[in-house]
């Protein structure tokens, strides 16, 4: 059944890609043909570009799920603390606008075996979610630890913690399901894709309210666990 779903997903994604390319091509042609006359509708054209790119991203994410081996990158030994810091740089503009303070507690000493860009994709998704959970400001905490799982496998745990409202029971049940989102402009694929990426490398992702873990702060904590290299 999963194989059939994968084939169907790949087929649908391929068929959607064609009209997306046609729309983008005609939009570029329209802009070029109108020249200076396009200035009054610059914002409308920009919004169309933005939405076409959003559709393209959704299709790419669907293909990433349907054909994971086609999208797998080179596996290297990755320093998780360095990758967390690099991911933070890429969302700095969002942090500045939201008046969020960043705290670090990075104690992991082991590296993990994964494609660096794929791990960064997962972390950036978690960082953006945490930032959006604190629209009026708050504190973002990044943690890393060497952590052995319940099977006795040595690994590394990375955590992204926020001081937002936390996760409702409904959200916790559906967080990692495709197309579930609590955002008006979300597509509900980010966490679902992240699960697939991590499982490919023997890893996992978890979500809890911080008070459930005995912490004094409100908010959510998302954990990414990967095998040590």
Task: Give tens-digit pLDDT for 14-42.
Answer: 788 888 889 999 999 999 999 999 999 99
DSSP 163-216: -SS---HHHHHHTTSTT--SSTT--S-HHHHHHHHHHHTT-EEEEEEGGGGT-S
**pTM value surpassing 0.95:** no
DSSP 121-151: HHHHHHHHHHHHT-TT-EEEEEEEEEEE-TT
Q: How far apart are CA 133 and CA 94, in angstroms?
A: 12
Task: Give tens-digit pLDDT for 172-200.
Answer: 888 888 777 776 666 677 888 888 889 98
Q: What backbone phi and psi angles, to 5 degrees, belong to 206?
A: -135, 160
Whether domain 76-227 has CATH 3.40.50.1370:
no
User: For residue 97, is pLDDT > 90?
Assistant: no
User: For residue 100, is pLDDT > 90?
Assistant: yes
Contact 66, 14 (CB under 8 A): no
The candidate with the shortest Cα–Cα distance to 221, out of 170, 175, 155, is 175
Residue with tokens 């559709």: 55
Given this model, what pLDDT does residue 133 score?
94
Contact 227, 153 (CB under 8 A): yes
How is the chain split into domains, by residue range?
2-71, 76-227
Task: Give tens-digit pLDDT for 117-136.
Answer: 889 989 999 999 999 999 99
Given this model, what pLDDT does residue 66 score?
62
């Amino acid at each position: 059944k999963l194989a059939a779903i994968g084939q169907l997903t790949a087929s649908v994604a391929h068929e959607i890609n064609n009209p997306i390319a046609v729309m983008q091509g005609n939009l570029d042609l329209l802009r070029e043909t109108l020249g200076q006359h396009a200035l009054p509708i610059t914002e409308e054209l920009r919004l169309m570009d933005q939405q076409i790119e959003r559709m393209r991203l959704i299709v790419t994410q669907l293909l990433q799920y349907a054909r994971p081996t086609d999208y797998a990158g080179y596996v290297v030994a990755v320093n998780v603390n360095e990758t967390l810091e690099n991911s933070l740089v890429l969302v700095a503009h969002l942090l500045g606008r939201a008046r969020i303070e960043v705290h670090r507690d990075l104690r992991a000493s082991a590296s993990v075996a994964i494609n660096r860009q794929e791990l960064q994709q997962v972390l950036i998704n978690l960082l953006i979610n945490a930032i959006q959970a604190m629209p009026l400001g708050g504190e973002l905490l990044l943690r890393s630890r060497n952590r052995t799982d319940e099977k006795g496998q040595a690994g590394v745990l990375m955590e992204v913690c926020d001081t937002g409202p936390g996760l409702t029971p409904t959200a916790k049940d559906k967080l990692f399901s495709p197309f579930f989102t609590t955002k008006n402009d979300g597509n509900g694929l980010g966490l679902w894709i992240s699960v697939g990426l991590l499982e490919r490398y023997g890893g996992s992702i978890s979500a809890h309210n911080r008070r459930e873990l005995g912490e004094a702060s409100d908010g959510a904590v998302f954990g990414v666990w990967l095998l040590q290299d």
